[in-house]
Amino acid sequence: MNQAFALLLSVLSVAHASWLAEFTVNLAPGQIDKFVMEVHPEWAPLGAARFEELIDSNFFKGARFFRVIDGFMAQFGIHGNPKIAAEWKTKTMKDDPVKESNKRGFVSFATSGKDSRTTQMFINFSDNANLDSMDFSPFAQIVKGMESTVDNLHKGYGEGAPSGKGPEQGRIQSEGNKYLKRLSLIHI
């Protein structure tokens, strides 16, 4: 199932105030919907700044949801062009202290260990407070379209290989969208 995304960013206030990012999603052929993410720099200043940097650089154009696990989360944030993905892979940032819990609809950066966040992030489908003690610091919340859009993302591929039917992250990094033709696409 190919899910196309369009991302429109509306900065509604000064840099440290919350602001909105609207995603237009093609859930299935002919089925388009939207969700709105409210970014909170006061929750996770480094994460919010990185998200804004990614938006400003059009990073999400061509990125896809590659790990969607029903009842847990939907993950995205590896660029579809391997050269761009490689440029960002080494741009790690320090962890923000966890000020908000990983509740349903909250958005956090993925991490592979201390101070390793780069571009991958996920939307929580349920309350995942167990992630708080692992330093997953929410920087945003879905304020519109969680039920109508995010809950309807294609979940058929689930966990990544080899544990599940989903794609291998190493191949996403090296092959990009040639490898991910069947997954959700983000456009700006």
Per-residue pLDDT for 1 more than 90?
A: no
Paired sense of beta strands 19-28 and 31-39, if any = antiparallel
Q: Is the pTM of this model over 0.85?
A: yes
Percentage with pLDDT > 70 across the chain = 87
Q: Which amino acid is at 117?
A: R
**pLDDT for position 183:** 58
- Strands (DSSP E) contained in 40-172 are 64-69, 73-76, 106-109, 121-124, 138-144
41-62 average pLDDT score: 93
Residue 154 in tokens: 């294609």
Per-residue pLDDT for 142 more than 90?
A: yes
1-6 average pLDDT score: 41
**pLDDT for position 182:** 61
- State pLDDT tens for residues 154-186: 888 788 888 888 889 999 999 998 888 765 555
- State pLDDT tens for residues 87-110: 999 999 999 999 999 999 999 999
11, 61, 63: which is closest to 39 by C-alpha?
Answer: 11
Query: What DSSP line would sit under 42-75, residue for residue?
Result: TT-HHHHHHHHHHHHTTTTTT-EEEEEETTTEEE
Q: Please state, in angstroms and rounded to a whole number, the distance separating the CA atoms of residues 50 and 142.
A: 18
Burial class for 168, CB neighbours closer than 10 Å (0-12, 13-18, 19+): middle
pLDDT, averaged across the chain: 87
